[in-house]
């Protein structure tokens, strides 16, 4: 995660410096999400039916190998924007399968009563990387250049795989998982996961809310570099851009710390609408011409609310779904929720190219506020099934 946080800053900088295009920079962010829509339906059943540990480790090895080709091509003088886009697509495809395995791994390791605390802890650790990564990225960009900094990301994947090899578990719950003789076919698993989601109105509502949330989030995050350059008047190579990304990590860190204290299944009617509304207000405030320090604070609050919305949806799905469907149900949830990000990034890039980044952020704020209102109405009519 630390390495990915570095690349999350430097790769948009590489694209923006090479093209000067907000649209192409936003497209890079959108490409990272597309594989989930293409392969999510098969990744979930594979994780539910197979060895989740192998999927996680294998995904790290594949992603590390792919990312390493970017600085290598740069060193050879053959790096192109198309190369970066292809790596983004392929590495994101590998991530789909490892991520599906993680959805089932955590509940199998900690059990349902400790799941909110475990998710909060993992989110905090990830947020620590998101805080440190952009700061490191800013320093690396200023010293060795953006493309060379990608080596950090490539190395981190191999390190992660080596550490996870020490965990002797296949990340399954032996008391509820089907035996090898009774494992259903992939089509049956997919059908069962869809029927499960359709039968739980709370999950269905949270998925739709997640789509609106990720749509707006895609527009904001995909245009963060152009926002810093065009609206905050920060030079493209300035390390302060790294601090803007770091502010997102601070907000996520706070959300992870407080999550176990605030989450209860019966509170989703309140938590999701409020966090969505908070995100909308913060996105709108970014368009008022804030100073750089104020923008950092607003982005931290924005990320806190975004993370809370995401964690509520994931934890509720993990608690509600049985182990033999947990990866499938949560991957479908991720597909719907993350499915909004490429559309949001593309829509935001289009609005930015036709009008301005500020107008794209205003549109994102409207989407979040409307989603909050609709989620509040729908969740009032549901009952928790956990």
Tens-digit pLDDT profile for residues 24-61 = 777 787 777 788 888 888 999 999 888 889 999 999 99
Q: Give the residue carrying structure tokens 């790096």.
A: 79
Assigned domain for 207 exists? yes
In the predicted structure, residue 384 carries a pLDDT above the cut 70 = no
Determine the average pLDDT of the residues in 119-137.
83
pLDDT-derived band of residue 127, with 50, 70 and 90 as boundaries? confident
pLDDT-derived band of residue 117, with 50, 70 and 90 as boundaries? very high
**pLDDT at res. 68:** 93
In the predicted structure, residue 363 carries a pLDDT above the cut 70 = yes
pLDDT-derived band of residue 183, with 50, 70 and 90 as boundaries? low
Assigned domain for 78 exists? yes
Domain count across the chain: 1
Assigned domain for 386 exists? no
In angstroms, the Cα distances linking 15 to 10, 140, 240, 266, 323 are 9, 16, 18, 44, 41
pLDDT digits (tens, 9 = 90+) for 226-263: 899 888 888 877 778 878 888 888 898 899 999 999 99
Determine the average pLDDT of the residues in 360-385.
88
Cα torsion at 61, 303, 209, 201 (round to 10°)?
70
Question: Which span out of 89-93, 277-281, 375-379, 382-386 was modeled with the highest average pLDDT?
Answer: 277-281
Assigned domain for 171 exists? no
In the predicted structure, residue 351 carries a pLDDT above the cut 80 = yes
Residues 6 or more apart whose CB falls under 8 angstroms from that of 16 comprise 22, 24, 25, 225, 226, 229, 236
Assigned domain for 172 exists? no
**pLDDT at res. 65:** 95
User: Which residue range(s) make up the domain with 77?
Assistant: 2-165+185-379
**pLDDT at res. 364:** 94
Distance CA 141, CA 134 (A): 10
Determine the average pLDDT of the residues in 324-350.
85
Task: Report the percentage of the chain scoring pLDDT > 90.
Answer: 37
Average pLDDT of every residue of the chain: 87
**pLDDT at res. 199:** 86
Assigned domain for 180 exists? no
* CATH number of the domain where residue 263 is located: 1.20.1250.20
Q: What pTM, to 2 d.p., does this model score?
A: 0.78
Assigned domain for 278 exists? yes
Assigned domain for 145 exists? yes
pLDDT-derived band of residue 176, with 50, 70 and 90 as boundaries? low
pLDDT-derived band of residue 168, with 50, 70 and 90 as boundaries? confident
pLDDT-derived band of residue 182, with 50, 70 and 90 as boundaries? low
**pLDDT at res. 157:** 94
In the predicted structure, residue 179 carries a pLDDT above the cut 60 = no
Main-chain dihedrals φ then ψ at residue 165, nearest 5 degrees: -65, -20
């Amino acid at each position: 995660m630390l390495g990915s946080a570095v690349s999350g800053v430097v790769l948009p900088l590489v694209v923006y410096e090479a093209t000067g295009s907000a649209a192409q920079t936003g497209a890079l962010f959108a490409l990272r999400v597309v594989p989930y829509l293409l392969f999510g339906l098969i990744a979930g059943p594979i994780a539910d039916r197979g060895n989740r540990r192998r999927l996680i480790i294998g995904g790290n090895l594949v992603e590390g190998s792919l990312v390493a080709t970017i600085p290598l091509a740069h060193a050879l003088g053959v790096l192109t924007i198309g190369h970066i886009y292809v790596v983004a697509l392929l590495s994101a495809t590998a991530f789909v399968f490892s991520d599906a395995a993680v959805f089932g791994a955590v509940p199998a390791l900690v059990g349902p009563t400790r799941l909110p605390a475990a998710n909060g802890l993992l989110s905090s650790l990830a947020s620590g990387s998101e805080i440190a990564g952009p700061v490191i990225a800013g320093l690396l960009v200023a010293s060795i250049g953006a493309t060379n900094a990608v080596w950090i990301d490539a190395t981190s994947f191999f390190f992660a795989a080596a550490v996870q090899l020490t965990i002797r578990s296949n990340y399954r719950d032996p008391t509820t998982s089907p035996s090898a003789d009774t494992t259903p076919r992939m089509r049956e698993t997919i059908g069962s996961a869809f029927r499960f989601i359709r039968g739980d109105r709370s999950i269905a509502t949270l998925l739709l809310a997640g789509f609106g949330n990720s749509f707006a989030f895609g527009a904001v995050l995909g245009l963060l570099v152009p926002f810093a350059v065009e609206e905050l008047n920060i030079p493209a190579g300035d390390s302060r851009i790294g601090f803007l990304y770091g502010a997102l990590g601070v907000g996520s860190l706070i959300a992870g710390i407080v999550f176990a204290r605030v989450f209860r299944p019966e509170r989703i009617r309140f938590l999701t609408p409020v966090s969505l509304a908070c995100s909308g207000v913060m996105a709108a405030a970014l368009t008022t011409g804030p100073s750089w320090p104020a923008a950092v604070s607003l982005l931290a609050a924005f990320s806190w609310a975004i993370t809370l919305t995401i964690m509520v949806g994931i934890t509720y799905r993990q608690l509600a779904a049985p182990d033999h469907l947990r990866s499938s149900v949560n991957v479908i949830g991720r597909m719907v929720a993350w499915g909004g990000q490429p559309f949001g990034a593309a829509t935001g890039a289009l609005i930015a190219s036709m009008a301005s980044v500020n107008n794209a952020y205003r549109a994102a704020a409207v989407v979040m506020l409307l989603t909050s209102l609709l989620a509040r109405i729908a969740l009032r009519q549901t009952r928790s099934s956990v």
